[in-house]
Chains A and B, each alone.
Chain A
Amino acid sequence: MNHRGTIAFLLALGILLISRPVVAHHGTSAFYEMNHPITMKGTVTEFAWSNPHVQIFFDVKDDQGNVVRWGCETLSPGRLARSGWSKSALKPGDQITVTVSPSKRGLPLGALRKIVLANGKELGLQEMPEY
């Protein structure tokens, strides 16, 4: 690829990137790194199906084998119910793979992106049906 080709490619890539919609998520962009999600494996310790936002707490082992308790927040119970969740979607002891937008302050807190259960079932945040 010559010089002009490289510029053209980068310009096209730029268009691709800036065309992605920015979806507001409960004003959490001030608290969390929305563009840098991380994925962890953990064990559920608490599933709080409550307003204003459902909360999930889970233990994660770090590289040294220390257990760190993480917490993540997500949609309201109504919006989660319309995304296919229920108050019994998770229970303490469940093994989960969690993707969150982590705290900007480096705390073990995050805004939930998705959860994958041990059986492979995915719990996402797709509330809007197909039209």
Chain B
Amino acid sequence: MRNPFTRLIAVLAGGLVLSSLALAQQLGETKTKAAPPAPSHDLTGIWEFFTQLPGQGIYATPSKQAPPMTPWAQERFAAMRPGYGPRITTDSNDPILRCDPVGIPRALFYPQPFEIVPTPDRVFMFFERDHLYRPIWLNRRDHPQDLSPMWVGDSVGWWEKDTFVVDTVGFNDRSWLDFYGYPHSEEMHLVERYQRTDLNTLKLNFTVEDPKAFTKPWVSDTKIYKLLPKNKAFLEELFCVPEEEEAFGNRFRKPGIGGESK
């Protein structure tokens, strides 16, 4: 290996291998086991969105590139001060800091588990965050007329081969669409497509159509959820309690911003 260029390539390749090994070790990937196949048309279980999972989509937003916003959305976006992402600030006005419900679709890529419970006429999703739940109706395809604006909207679901499709409208415009402060309007139409690719793995791709906020549909990357094993399969009582938020804010957030600490 006398050619310096060949040696350079060899060293770079070695670096890549070492890097992959280090990454795999860090992610606990070295002991990956083959999971049993998925049961048919059954999403039952407690699932969690682990941000560090290999192949996981971006944390905190549907995909890296948001579609162009309308002037209505641009104005809202400019006023939002997120605690995450490229515009991160300590002085956030994220509505969840005042205990507004996290809402859908943001709850879907929150790093906290949710439980899926199917019943004959509905599939329920129970989220640890906020103790939020949403019913997904199986016995109708249409949404009621004149829906009151909701944090989770009105959802209907059906199976298309191995994919569970959820169609939701009827949202309010008070929740942020994601952690970065992107807005949505009451016109938001959300379509989620879930595939259970093995016993332990659930994958979601979703599309946000909101012509009042975005000039094109926002197609997500693939979000991956893992089935929690028995010893971790529980949801804690995670209500957002204003008194607890205030106490935490006084001890940590306000000093971190530079405000007064009680």
Known contacts: A29-B88, A128-B52, A131-B35. The answer to whether A55 contacts B18 by CB under 8 A is no
Beta-carbon contact of A77 and B240 below 8 Å: no
A13 to B9 Cα, complex, angstroms: 13
Does B142 reach chain A (CB closer than 8 Å)? no
A103 to B251 Cα, complex, angstroms: 13
Does A81 reach chain B (CB closer than 8 Å)? yes
Beta-carbon contact of B252 and A131 below 8 Å: no
The digit string for A53-86, where 1 denotes a CB below 8 A from any CB of B, is 1010000000000000001010011110110000
Known contacts: A24-B51, A73-B248, A79-B112. The answer to whether A103 contacts B256 by CB under 8 A is yes
Does A27 reach chain B (CB closer than 8 Å)? yes
Partner of B248, one of A4, A7, A52, A103: A52
Count of A residues near B, CB < 8 Å?
Answer: 43
Beta-carbon contact of B18 and A16 below 8 Å: yes
Beta-carbon contact of B252 and A130 below 8 Å: no
Known contacts: A8-B12, A12-B12, A20-B26. The answer to whether A107 contacts B88 by CB under 8 A is no
Partner of B28, one of A11, A76, A107, A130: A130
The digit string for A1-29, where 1 denotes a CB below 8 A from any CB of B, is 00011011101110110011101100101
Does A88 reach chain B (CB closer than 8 Å)? no
Scoring A13, A31, A53, A55 by chain B CB atoms within 10 A of each residue's CB, the highest score goes to: A31
Partner of A131, one of B200, B236, B239: B200
Does A120 reach chain B (CB closer than 8 Å)? no
Scoring A52, A107, A130 by chain B CB atoms within 10 A of each residue's CB, the highest score goes to: A52
Does B4 reach chain A (CB closer than 8 Å)? yes
Beta-carbon contact of B255 and A20 below 8 Å: no
The digit string for B88-120, where 1 denotes a CB below 8 A from any CB of A, is 111010000000000000000001110000000
Partner of A20, one of B22, B82, B88: B22
Known contacts: A30-B88, A51-B241. The answer to whether A128 contacts B236 by CB under 8 A is no
Does A50 reach chain B (CB closer than 8 Å)? yes
Chosen A-B contacts, 14 in total, with CB atoms closer than 8 Å, are: A4-B8, A7-B8, A8-B11, A21-B23, A30-B90, A31-B90, A31-B252, A51-B241, A76-B236, A78-B112, A78-B236, A81-B234, A82-B232, A127-B232
Other 4 A-B pairs with CB < 8 A, given A81-B236, A131-B201: A16-B22, A30-B88, A73-B252, A130-B31
